Structure 1
Amino acid sequence: MVQVNIDKKTGFLSIIILALVAIIILMTFGSDRHDGLPGMHKGGMHKGDGLSSSKLNGADVMFLQMMIAHHQQAIDISELAIVTSKDAELVALATIIRDGQTAEIIQMKNWLLQAGKDIEMDHEMGHDMGGMLTDTELSTLKASKGSTFDRLWLEGMTNHHNGALHMTTMISDAQNPEIKQFGQKIIEVQSAQNAQMKTMLSRLG
């Protein structure tokens, strides 16, 4: 009889211990699952997370919208040079400008879309863009050939770059650090290209 009582007590204690272990396990895993619910902060992504590029102020948006339109004309006249000019260095530079600014337009459009902003600017804003070739200048360029075309293109693209460099002054009021870094890249690249075009113009005589 004594042995039986001992077994019963032992069995009862075992049940209690197992129950406590089960409760601890449930509490542990239950807490982990709760931490992983959407919208909870636990060192991972949640609904509030997003790219810093989605935060743009008015200066950011205006700069991107204007620069997209400005870049597009540079791409258009670069493509014209690629099929018109016989100068290897000029064609190579035009190709670099076309490819580089095409990639930059894609990036700028992505920034605006992520921020829920319009890609196209108001028509009135276009009058504030410096360096843009007029319709008359574009027609003259398209009708030109040989060294005349090369000179007009280099002069036109230099002025176009100068206009873009002036537009980068807007990044001083920019909020987004990525936009400021992007504007600084434009300054560095187009300043170097202007120096190259100055040398090319000297070569043409």
Structure 2
Amino acid sequence: MRLKTRCSKAATVLALAAGLALAGCGGDHSGHETGAAASPTASSTAGATFNAADGMFAVMMIPHHEQAVEMADLVPTRTTNADLLALATEIKDAQQPEITQMQGWLKGWGTDVAAMGDHASHGGMAGMQSDEAMADLAALTGDSFDRRWMEMMIDHHEGAVTMAKDVIAKGSDPAVRALAEQVITAQQAEIAQMTGMLGG
């Protein structure tokens, strides 16, 4: 069923991105009051502006984070590696609140979060793992799972870092920039940790 809906969800995300581009490019978006929360030109922070790059970052990073949480949820039932169990908990505890934060931004910008669908429509994003790779991972246990999970999560994190660096270069909203910097700091540290655990 997820494969059947992949194309329609992808089209929805493309349309959503186009809408954000128009909203982010049209005029002065500096007035953000409570009453303006439903406007697509409302920013995530008072007196600030968002642009198309900020909007795209949130639209794409939400499903990206959701997949990381999905991967973290696999860990407790497939390994007894204490370091990996702790890392998975750390990743989930960091990324779930960030998902909520970005959903709040999209709502404030007048975006229909529910229309985004799930991460099945985002297979082309940097670091995003395929459904097949996720299924293969879920079938593993023990040391084989540990190694494959870390390899996939390193790739996933590297994609998130790339996306975060892109919005820092192109975005305009201070709250989005702050989150992007947080993503870079946390995920680069986790990449280094996993690389070490893999013996690299």
Query: What is the alpha-carbon distance in structure 1 between the residues aligned to residue 122 and residue 183 of structure 2?
Result: 19
Displacement after TM superposition at 1:46 (Å): 9.1
Query: What is the alpha-carbon distance in structure 1 between the residues aligned to residue 190 and residue 156 of structure 2?
Result: 11
Match of 2:102 in 1: 108
Partner of 1:131, secondary structure, is coil
Displacement after TM superposition at 1:83 (Å): 2.2
Match of 1:157 among 144, 153, 175: 153
| Residue identity in the other structure for 1:145 | T
Number of residues of Structure 1 aligned to a counterpart in Structure 2: 159
Match of 1:79 among 58, 73, 76: 73
- Displacement over 4 Å in runs of 4+: 45-52, 120-125
Q: Which protein shows a greater Rg?
A: 1
Quick check: 1:74–1:98 contact (8 Å CA) kept in 2?
Answer: yes
Quick check: 1:131–1:163 contact (8 Å CA) kept in 2?
Answer: yes
Query: What is the alpha-carbon distance in structure 2 between the residues aligned to residue 52 and residue 144 of structure 1?
Result: 41
**Once the two structures are superposed, what CA deviation does each residue of 1:51-75 show, in whole Å capped at 9, x if it has no partner?**
7537421111110010000000000
In structure 2, relative to structure 1, the CA distance for the partners of 1:155 and 1:48 (3 Å cut) is closer
Partner of 2:45, secondary structure, is helix
Partner of 2:80, secondary structure, is coil
Identity %: 38
Please state if 1:179 is matched with 2:173: no
Partner of 1:86, secondary structure, is coil
Query: What is the alpha-carbon distance in structure 2 between the residues aligned to residue 89 and residue 61 of structure 1?
Result: 35
Task: Between 106-115 and 69-78, report the one with greater CA deviation.
Answer: 106-115
| Residue identity in the other structure for 2:107 | L
In structure 2, relative to structure 1, the CA distance for the partners of 1:110 and 1:168 (3 Å cut) is same
Using the size of structure 1 for normalisation, the TM-score is 0.70
RMSD: 2.6
Query: What is the alpha-carbon distance in structure 1 between the residues aligned to residue 120 and residue 90 of structure 2?
Result: 30
Quick check: 1:67–1:164 contact (8 Å CA) kept in 2?
Answer: yes
Match of 1:53 in 2: 45
Partner of 2:172, secondary structure, is coil
Match of 1:88 in 2: 82
In structure 2, relative to structure 1, the CA distance for the partners of 1:62 and 1:146 (3 Å cut) is same
Query: What is the alpha-carbon distance in structure 1 between the residues aligned to residue 63 and residue 74 of structure 2?
Result: 17
In structure 2, relative to structure 1, the CA distance for the partners of 1:158 and 1:47 (3 Å cut) is closer
Displacement after TM superposition at 1:126 (Å): 2.2
Quick check: 2:53–2:171 contact (8 Å CA) kept in 1?
Answer: yes
Displacement after TM superposition at 1:201 (Å): 0.8
Unaligned residue ranges in structure 1 (runs of 5+): 1-44
**Once the two structures are superposed, what CA deviation does each residue of 1:123-159 show, in whole Å capped at 9, x if it has no partner?**
9972441111112211111111110000000001000
| Residue identity in the other structure for 2:180 | G
**Once the two structures are superposed, what CA deviation does each residue of 1:13-67 show, in whole Å capped at 9, x if it has no partner?**
xxxxxxxxxxxxxxxxxxxxxxxxxxxxxxxx99679875374211111100100
Quick check: 1:165–1:186 contact (8 Å CA) kept in 2?
Answer: yes
